[in-house]
Structure 1
Amino acid sequence: MNQQLSWTTWLAEGHVSVPVILLKHYPSFNLNEEECMLLLHLHTFIEKGNAFPTPEELSNRMTITATKCFSIIQKLITRGFLTIEETSVDGVRQENYSLFPLWKTIMDKLETDQRQTKLEDTLQSQTDLYTIFEQEFGRPLSPLECETLAMWIDQDHQSTELIKSALREAVISNKLNFRYIDRILFEWKKQRITTVDQARKQGEKFRQTTATSKPEQMQETAKTKKVPFYNWLEQ
């Protein structure tokens, strides 16, 4: 019976959703443990319908005095993590704590971290791209070639993966030069090819067509010159 009563009491207390990002990163917000715990208790009070708990009520749930709670609240307001808003219910003015500034700070951090991660990924991808080109060409890229690579990415908005695919087509066709690769990318853009899979299928299609017509071309010429798989520059 006592166990059933304990479970009933526990369930009646309910649950409060706590953003994990706050628990993981509160030091990066320059919050210490006392400040973070006080914010969590404020969140709990607000969720339970008490939007303006007193320092004494907060102190009863913590190991610090009411005076310390009041001091922390003032600091949190000054630092922009907490605000006090005024509302009117039936003509009676009421004050409420708002954690909106805290949630906004968390969201801003998430967005900043995502942008930073994306930027780092982009820079790493571009670095890898330059390395791959230098490996295929067997030499360092010239300033003009580096500028062309940057133009494909920044101005033409080509993905690094699609540029790698164009490089592969140039290698297969034995036409390893930037003008040829640029023409491949131009043709793909004109044909609305935007994925590596589409580019691969297009390359295979052209090579199959060329392979089929190759015997006829060899009959028409007495030369033994090797016929490229597909000459994008002639398109």
Structure 2
Amino acid sequence: MSRFTIYQDNYADTTIVSNLFIDEYMKDANDAQIKIYLYLLRMMSAHKATSVSDIADKFNHTEKDVMRALKYWEKNNLLALEYNEDRTLCGIRLLDVTSRSENDVLPLTKIVSMPVTVSKKDIAGRSITEEPAVRTAAETADPFAKPSYSLDELKEFKNNEETSQIIFVAEQYIGRPLTAPEMKTILFFSDRLHFSADLIDYLFQYCVEKGKRDFRYIEKVAISWAQEGISTPAQAARYAAKYDKNVYDIMKALGKSSIPTKAEADYAMKWVREYGFTSDIIMEACERTVLATDKHRFEYADSILKSWHENHVKHKADIRTMDEAHSRKPAAKTAPRNGQFNQFMHTDYDFDTLEKEILSN
């Protein structure tokens, strides 16, 4: 079939979208973020002013949703938000991405010729607050660092109708009134991580269902989701499904209570899916690992399970057969070990050498 050309008769009423935006930025954004950015381009092309409330009305979003989308694009250096002295949003600068490669970070001083203006009266008297003017160097360098919010910022957050509902929902999940630091953590989810109310709701539901009500744990989960670019409950559910019950059972068996890292989860899922080991065999390897070392336990357990996989272990009886074969070998010239460790560590490889190798890496 022959190729065809796409064209139109009149280019006068058009909005130009950078190919870089389509190729590199659009795939990671949600529907609301894409709609709002394209609408800003359209308004700029027409030299028209708009407002947060106008955008919210047009797309049936809340003003909070609009601000969250604007901050998302600001974080990605596609626009810059401008504020007046009382920290009210008064303008939007769309940044030039046409000369940017995918690894470039464009300075905020390079702008397109026409800013999109938002006046105070357009925001219906609401004060839209950006991040506090003073940030530490660590907060500036790390986009997932929790800022030191002021009491005024917390008060504004609590007094907003939508965000006060988020606090109420969180209190229902936690089962008690929240402290000021805990409310600042929820402000962090909304303000810095750009979580929607629905995603924050799902975050608390997810953690509480796991029996975790500690805010430090909840914050770690939230940051891990943000680092993965998660912006909806559906995305969070798919992400959480990757770390199924097997992963957390293995974490517990190896003496770990933290959120599994990607490397730890990859190890666990390899043992289950690639090696095809049942839970009892994996738990046996974990038990031997805990008795042998308190460092690099995933690497240590992986060496055990890799050996069993190579020796076609399918049942615990196969492990006993390997142990018995090992016990019939001539004793090593080194002094034997006493105690429980020596009773468990019967395999066809040298765990002392293995541990030294792992610890040296």
Give your verdict on TM over 0.5: no
Instruction: Output the TM-score relative to the length of structure 2.
Output: 0.27
Q: Which has the larger radius of gyration?
A: 1
Greater fraction helix: 1
